[in-house]
Amino acid sequence: MLRLYERATRNDPTHLQSHLNYGISLRELGRYDEASSVLHRALHHHPNSTSLRLEIAHIHTILGEINAAATQYENILVTDPNSTSALLNIAAIHHNDLRLDEALLGYSRTIASISSYNQTCFHHIISNNPNEILGISPFSSVNQSNPCKCPTESDF
């Protein structure tokens, strides 16, 4: 599969999903520098891509480069101020740094961004992957369609 993604990125250097898939595959193999390079090339063509920035931030987090990860999350918020993942990750970074006032503000902003959705359950936001250091899902927003049929406000 990796070769297919590599070929796809060579065939179309501007195709976002090919680069994202290739970068994720490289990251999953522990090839962080290569993954970062692929994702940054795509970011050149898609500077406002939340998905790319979240994946780059994820790699920085794995490598312990928390300030670099925070920069990516802050860049996401410029174009997507309600990005649940970015808000929650920034709050978690502040929490880990014991900047509790900022963490509390960040968690509050996260909750406020979620409350605008009528059909939201918490596990749409938190990742099931225990290997993620901050435990935040690489999604930019909550799925409003409620595919898991979780209880909604109207059920109570």
How does DSSP classify residue 149?
Answer: -
Q: How far apart are CA 1 and CA 62, in angstroms?
A: 23
pLDDT digits (tens, 9 = 90+) for 108-139: 888 888 765 544 444 444 444 433 434 443 43
Report in angstroms the alpha-carbon separations of 128 from 88, 111, 138.
Answer: 15, 19, 11
Q: What is the pLDDT at residue 134? A: 44
pLDDT digits (tens, 9 = 90+) for 47-98: 999 999 999 999 999 999 999 999 999 999 999 998 999 999 999 999 988 8
Q: What is the pLDDT at residue 73? A: 95
**Three-state secondary-structure class, residue 134:** coil
* Contact assessment for residue 90 and residue 107, using Cβ atoms and an 8 Å cutoff: no
Q: How far apart are CA 118 and CA 144, in angstroms?
A: 7
Nearest Cα residue to 51 out of 30, 90, 93, 22 = 22
Q: How far apart are CA 19 and CA 10, in angstroms?
A: 10
Residues 6+ positions from 152 with CB-CB distance below 8 Å:
118, 119, 120, 146
